[in-house]
Amino acid sequence: MTPRKYPSPRSHRRRPRRFAGLLLAALLTGGLATPAAEADEKPFGDLPPQEPGVTLRVFDIQSPLSKLCDLKPAQTPNVDKLIPNVDWSSTEGFGFTDNFVSQIIGNINVPTDGTYTFRLISDDGS
């Protein structure tokens, strides 16, 4: 999958902010902490062939965020690319340093029942 990047219409330089906008982890953690699949859902074996990794989508909001915002239906992301995993130590992977929302889409194969831990580290309270 080739990444799609759209230039920001903002021409002035943004104030750098380390790890800003890691709201994706809140979305990701909420999606991963759902109850066990119900009986009427398709089992993992019924999924079409999957590519390794997850899809990263980044949306440039262009204004300060005071809470998690809703994306508009069919809103086009500024960045849309396949990445191997979710483990960032800088903002380089996003293409933006401030005022953005990230979304991660992927499947997790849980081979056995048990307790799994997911972690969110952020500098903006997400």
pLDDT digits (tens, 9 = 90+) for 13-50: 333 333 333 334 444 444 444 444 444 555 666 777 88
Residue 61 belongs to some domain of the structure: yes
Q: Tokens 């398709």 appear where?
A: 42
Give the contacts of 9 (CB within 8 A, at least 6 positions apart): 62
Residue 104 has pLDDT above 80, yes or no: yes
Q: pTM for this structure?
A: 0.56
pLDDT in the model for residue 113: 92
Instruction: Name the residue range of residue 82's domain.
Output: 18-32+50-126
What residue has token string 């219409």? 9
- CB of 103 closer than 8 Å to CB of 24: yes
HEC-encoded secondary structure of 10-73: CCCCCCCCCCCCCHHHHHHHHHHCCCCCCCCCCCHHHCCCCCCCEEEEEEECCCCCCCCCCCCC
Position 8 in a domain: no
On whether residue 121 sits in a domain, the answer given is yes
Higher pLDDT, 91 or 64: 64
Asked whether residue 1 is assigned to any structural domain, the reply reads: no
Q: What is the pLDDT of residues 70-96, one digit of tens each?
A: 888 889 999 999 999 887 777 777 778
In a domain, 69, yes or no: yes
Q: How many folded domains does the chain comprise?
A: 1
Cα separation, 33 vs 88, whole angstroms: 20
Q: Which helix (H) or strand (E) holds 100?
A: strand 100-105
Look at residue 24 and tell me if it is in a domain.
yes
For residues 54-70, average pLDDT: 85
45 occurs within a structural domain: no
Q: Is residue 13 part of a domain?
A: no
